[in-house]
Amino acid sequence: MDNAIVLLSGGLDSATSLFWAKKNGFRPFCLIFDYGQRHKKEIDNARAIAKKAKCGYEIVKFNLASDTTSLVNKKLKLPKKVMPDEIPSTYAPARNIIFLSLGVSFAETKKAQFIVIGTNQLDYSNYPDCRDEFIRAFQKAINLGTKSGTQAKTIKILTPLQNKNKAQIIKLAVKLKVPLELTWSCYAGNTKPCNICPSCIIRAKGFKEAGVADPILR
């Protein structure tokens, strides 16, 4: 069994990636990031998902430069709709770049040759660090910038959801028995999803198209 570091945010995509990794014979270890995000709910959810999957996990803290992102800075307003071709205020500079970098560090330390990340670029919020071309460029940087890379045991980034739309991801999640009731997508951290933010809208559209009832709305 190969060790894999799974980057687990507590959302739908990363949870599905975790269960995909389990199904495909990897031994996952989850990294859950605490970077001062707007609400801690997703961290609690990520922890619950890792436990449900019976995986080891670690909460990894870091200071994100937070002045400009509404994902962290509560003084900034959350966006209220999906804007095609526009990067919303929830864009957190270098968020996935930092997640992957910390993932590489843990992968090398824990002898995991794989990092699993739930990026996808069909129904998404135009974040540049979710695109396949970024992932491929970052892979090259890992090949050249790590000890394992120089020893031809390069850590490989796996993106099982990269070219799936949200409905396809939800169908896969159902098939993999992902505890969808534990996933949290809403940018606001209230007890119920706001149903206004882009993340809620994309999620609702995905569930509708997949013909699945979203258990968190029950």
Nearer to a copy of itself, 68 or 195 (CB): 68
Note whether 98 binds a copy of itself by CB under 8 A.
yes
Facing residues of 158 across strands? 116
**Cα–Cα distance for residue pair 85/169, rounded to 1 Å:** 22
Minimum CB distance to a copy of itself, residue 34 (Å)? 9
State the DSSP string of 77-101. Answer: PPP-S--TT---TT--TTHHHHHHH
**Contacting residue, 3, 47, 105, 194, with a copy of itself by CB under 8 A:** 105
Q: Which residues, 6 or more positions from 18, have their beta carbon under 8 angstroms from its beta carbon?
A: 6, 8, 28, 30, 49, 50, 53, 55, 116, 178
Note whether 122 binds a copy of itself by CB under 8 A.
no
| SS3 of residue 107 by DSSP | helix
**Site string (3-42) toward a copy of itself, x via CB under 8 A:** ----------------------------------------
**Cα–Cα distance for residue pair 161/150, rounded to 1 Å:** 28
Note whether 54 binds a copy of itself by CB under 8 A.
no
**Contacting residue, 142, 161, 169, 201, with a copy of itself by CB under 8 A:** 142
Note whether 116 binds a copy of itself by CB under 8 A.
no
Note whether 96 binds a copy of itself by CB under 8 A.
yes
Nearest to 161 by CA among 132, 139, 128: 132
Q: What is the DSSP letter of 65?
A: -
Nearer to a copy of itself, 97 or 196 (CB): 97
Centroid of chain to Cα 34: 13
Rg, the chain, Cα only:
16
Minimum CB distance to a copy of itself, residue 194 (Å)? 24
Note whether 60 binds a copy of itself by CB under 8 A.
yes
Minimum CB distance to a copy of itself, residue 143 (Å)? 8
Residue type, 59: I
Nearer to a copy of itself, 23 or 136 (CB): 136
Residues that bind a copy of itself (CB under 8 A): 58, 60-69, 87, 91-98, 100-102, 104-110, 128-129, 131, 133-134, 137-138, 140-147, 149-150
